[in-house]
Chains A and B, each alone.
Chain A
Amino acid sequence: MHNLIAVFKKQCKDTFKNKTVFIQFILFPALTLLMNQTVKIEGMPKNFFVNLFATMYIGMAPLTCMAAVVAEEKENNTLRVLLLSNVKPHEFLGGVGSYIWLLCMLGAAVICAAGNYGLRTGLVFMAVTAVGILASLLIGAAIGTFSRTQMMATSIALPVMMFFSFLPMLSMFNETVAGIARFTYSEQIGKMLGQVPSLRLGMDSAGIVAVNMLVFAVLFAAAYQKCGLE
């Protein structure tokens, strides 16, 4: 726990210095605030932008940030020194993961605020988001572990992130895409966010998210087995 907190604190110091990662955290919350205020289309469902951007945020920011941070530490040999200093892999991943998770939750809170939810619905919104971010972190960790360099991590993370973030949006227009998107956690998280005002979340959605997370955990384990963290 001690080392995990140390890694967490180190990441905090890096927040404003690492611009490529930082921009990920604020882009979608800022965009949501902006669009929500300015764009009003006739017949648009309530909180259309809030749900859309929250889903994209969940699919993008944690995934790319986690992959980037882990891969960068591998590339610069900082992770090797850490492991030689008795920092356990789970302490490192936990420190980085909890930092990114918390930062994304802050961003999600901004998006949530734009949605004008009440206390209970707001909390449910944040709970769904929290699970979604966790799922993205798992894929991000798998990609970061698999990659030797930050460049490699980015080139893998980009298509993966596009797949999960854009699929829910595209599924609105195409039946076939919708058929595939059904099985992704991002689509289901988006769906659950839409159910937040009624406070009735579909159990099937939760199930699909859980299966997704299981698959990601297995992928991470495979990447860790194959490449380790050095």
Chain B
Amino acid sequence: MKEAVTVENLSVSFSDIRVLRQITCKVEEGEIFGLLGPSGAGKTTLAKVLTGQLVQNGGVAKLFGKDTRKLGTKEREQIGIMMDCFGLYDRLSVYDNLAFYADIYRVPKSRIWGILKSIGLEQAGKTAVQKLSKGMKSRLSLARALMRDAKILFLDEPTCGLDPVTAREIHAVLEEQRRKGTTVFLTTHNMYEAHKLCDHVALLHEGVIVEYGNPAKICGKYNRLQKLLVTLKDGKTVVLENGSSAALPMKEYLEAERVETVHSTEPTLEDVFVELTGKELGADA
């Protein structure tokens, strides 16, 4: 697999605060990569370095092999960006905002309605941006990133402030992008979303990456108990070893139709991150 993003020993400081401390990570081409971490961890900062909006104090960051301090016209054409500050024209309509960028990106305006439909903004096409809710603005900003055929999308909290149904529509859009071969770099506070969508996640905490990997594998790694919790219909809970020794009792419970629920003691991504950061994530997610 080729690397879309390569980060080596990257450090960023603001005056005397060290926000990123020599972090190293990578994003493979065609995957959805999730950058997780508590508020203020430096997620947006890393996204800014990778998109050439901020220059690091040390280390290297590369986008498709090109140093992000030297991104040129050609590289920028391959990047779709959705920032936390949306950068939309308040007085223009949703459609006009995208029409303007269709001009700038030199793509046909005919794709605008299709994109609006896919993110559920079709109804608001003629509405002025200043009349949109925050979640709608964030979707419009995502729509703009989708307008050009980018090779990589940088999405800063694409589902922040959205209801679960709309969030799922966005997930479908991102999965569609992955099918098309687009690399997606996203930041999120939503652990469920990260688990469901991402091929790899990195957890940023106090300026360092404390965990990196496939979400399911990370959860497996922290499953120290290796037990099964069986709740029976009479309310009793039985703890079984997660192994062959559990086969017989399980079979008996099932044959007697006594099983209410079965759970593994595997932690969720959220459990892992609370354990690693000592902080509840995403109070605002």
Contacts and interface: CB of A to CB of B under 8 A. Distances in A.
B81 interface: yes
A76 interface: yes
Nearest to A6: B103
Contacts of A77: 83, 85-87
A13 B92 contact: yes
A77 B87 CA distance: 5
Interface string A1-39: 011011001100110011000000000000000000000
A80 interface: yes
B70 interface: no
A85 B145 CA distance: 10
B77 interface: yes
B192 interface: no
Contacts of B88: 76, 78
Interface in B58-76: 73, 76
B89 A10 contact: yes
A172 interface: no
Contact of A78 (B79, B89, B96): B89
Query: B73, B86, B104 — which one has the most chain A CB atoms within 10 A of its CB?
Result: B104
Contact of B91 (A5, A17, A84, A85): A17
B2 interface: no
Contacts of A6: 100, 103-104
Contact of B106 (A2, A10, A13): A2
B83 A81 contact: yes
A131 interface: no
Interface string A123-165: 0000000000000000000000000000000000000000000
22 contacts: A5-B103, A10-B100, A13-B92, A14-B89, A14-B91, A14-B92, A17-B128, A18-B91, A77-B83, A79-B87, A80-B53, A80-B83, A81-B81, A81-B83, A82-B104, A84-B51, A84-B76, A84-B81, A85-B76, A85-B105, A86-B73, A230-B53
Interface of B: 51-53, 73, 76-77, 79, 81, 83, 85-92, 96, 100-101, 103-106, 128, 144
Interface of A: 2-3, 5-6, 9-10, 13-14, 17-18, 76-82, 84-87, 230
